[in-house]
């Protein structure tokens, strides 16, 4: 892990200020996610219609850590962007905390992208404060809140640095802090650790769990990595078929808090192998051959 990042400080996120312009509040807010009958298509340059997701339905209770896995091109990132209100669906509905999502709603749901997407001309503090600035929160309040959340992710001493001065892991922490600063009910994470080396990736996962354990927001985490999916989740949703739909949902019942030692237990391996077999079967069913494309994960790629 990168410097200054090994332990989480004890401070908690400050509550939204009097302006109340941003933040529905992590604690106690309803972060339940309900998706029903979601179908998504796109038209290519030759005017051919491709259906990516078909009749996707699932529900994630408030405060749950859910992961979404599936082969490349199965529409995991598309699903996440629809949950975030960035894309519209052809049919179906998304409700978060009982509110229908048809456009971005940063007070309620924020997205952490695979690319940390930090603005290189802004310091870490100003990057984290960006969503508050956009929402019109006053300077002092947004700085206080950005500082608090940076302390929370262990980057309290990096606030005045620029993104170029940070390691890959630290950049992702800043991106997570930026996602958390508006105190969303739901945090959507699109393969946020995919570009990190394996050790950093799992350490980041461990830190994310500690953070989530404190905040208890709903997290929906897209990944290619089966081990990561099982290690992090209460619930693993598998996107299967073409067009994809939620083929199976696996409840992960390992006790919390979890540490990386969990990953060497036979139960962990059994569950991971169960998911692997399921994906393999689906792949063979879909195309007649099997190939499992991994980004940044050589472990399962050899199987």
- Residues near other proteins (CB under 8 A): 81, 84-86, 103-106, 110-111, 113-117, 119-121, 130-131, 133-135, 162, 164, 168, 171-172, 192, 194-196
Q: In what order do the strands lie in the sheet with 186-190?
A: 109-112, 186-190, 218-222, 65-69, 235-240, 245-251
Nearer to other proteins, 19 or 248 (CB): 19
Query: Closest distance between other proteins and the C-beta of residue 164, in Å?
Result: 6
Nearer to other proteins, 195 or 263 (CB): 195
Nearer to other proteins, 61 or 296 (CB): 296
Query: Closest distance between other proteins and the C-beta of residue 286, in Å?
Result: 28
Give the count of beta carbons closer than 10 Å to the beta carbon of residue 263.
16
Nearer to other proteins, 12 or 195 (CB): 195
Nearer to other proteins, 107 or 282 (CB): 107
Q: Are residues 161 and 16 in contact, defined by beta-carbon separation less than 8 angstroms?
A: no
Q: How far apart are CA 286 and CA 241, in angstroms?
A: 6
Give the count of beta carbons closer than 10 Å to the beta carbon of residue 194.
19
Burial group, residue 179, by CB count within 10 angstroms (0-12, 13-18, 19+): buried
Positive or negative, the CA dihedral 168, 170, 176, 182 is: negative
Query: Closest distance between other proteins and the C-beta of residue 107, in Å?
Result: 9
**Which SS3 state, helix, strand or coil, does residue 35 take?**
strand
Q: Are residues 185 and 98 in contact, defined by beta-carbon separation less than 8 angstroms?
A: no
Query: Closest distance between other proteins and the C-beta of residue 196, in Å?
Result: 8
Nearer to other proteins, 192 or 272 (CB): 192
Query: Closest distance between other proteins and the C-beta of residue 98, in Å?
Result: 20
Provide the CA 89 distance to its chain's centre, in angstroms. Answer: 20
Query: Closest distance between other proteins and the C-beta of residue 224, in Å?
Result: 14
Q: Are residues 153 and 176 in contact, defined by beta-carbon separation less than 8 angstroms?
A: yes
Q: How far apart are CA 298 and CA 116, in angstroms?
A: 22
Query: Closest distance between other proteins and the C-beta of residue 42, in Å?
Result: 15
Query: Closest distance between other proteins and the C-beta of residue 112, in Å?
Result: 10
Nearer to other proteins, 103 or 289 (CB): 103
Q: Are residues 33 and 143 in contact, defined by beta-carbon separation less than 8 angstroms?
A: no
Nearer to other proteins, 180 or 238 (CB): 180
Q: Are residues 252 and 236 in contact, defined by beta-carbon separation less than 8 angstroms?
A: yes
Q: How many CA atoms lie within 13 A of 30 on its CB side?
A: 8
């Amino acid at each position: 892990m990168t410097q200054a990042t090994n332990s989480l400080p004890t401070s908690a996120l400050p509550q939204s200020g009097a302006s109340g312009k941003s933040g529905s509040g992590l604690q106690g807010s309803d972060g339940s996610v309900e998706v029903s009958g979601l179908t998504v298509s796109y038209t290519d340059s030759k005017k051919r219609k491709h259906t990516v997701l078909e009749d996707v339905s699932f529900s994630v209770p408030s405060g749950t850590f859910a992961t979404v896995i599936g082969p490349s091109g199965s529409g995991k990132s598309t699903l996440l962007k629809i949950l975030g209100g960035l894309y519209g669906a052809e049919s179906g509905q998304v409700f978060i905390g009982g509110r229908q999502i048809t456009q971005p709603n940063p007070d309620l749901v924020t997205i952490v992208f695979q690319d940390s997407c930090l603005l290189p001309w802004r310091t870490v503090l100003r990057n984290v404060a960006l969503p508050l600035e956009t929402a019109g929160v006053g300077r002092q309040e947004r700085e206080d809140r950005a500082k608090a959340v940076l302390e929370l992710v262990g980057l309290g001493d990096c606030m005045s640095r620029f993104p170029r001065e940070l390691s890959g892991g630290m950049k992702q922490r800043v991106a997570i802090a930026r996602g958390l600063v508006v105190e969303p009910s739901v945090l959507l994470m699109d393969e946020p650790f995919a570009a990190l080396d394996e050790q950093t990736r799992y350490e980041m996962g461990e830190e994310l769990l500690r953070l989530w354990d404190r905040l208890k927001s709903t997290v929906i985490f897209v990944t290619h990595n089966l081990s990561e999916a099982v290690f992090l989740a209460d619930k693993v949703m598998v996107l299967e078929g073409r067009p994809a739909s939620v083929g199976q949902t696996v409840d992960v019942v390992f006790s919390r808090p979890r540490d990386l030692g969990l990953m060497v237990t036979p139960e962990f391996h059994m569950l991971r192998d169960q998911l692997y077999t399921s994906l393999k079967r689906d792949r063979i069913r879909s195309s007649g051959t099997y190939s499992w494309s991994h980004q940044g994960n050589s472990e399962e790629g050899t199987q």
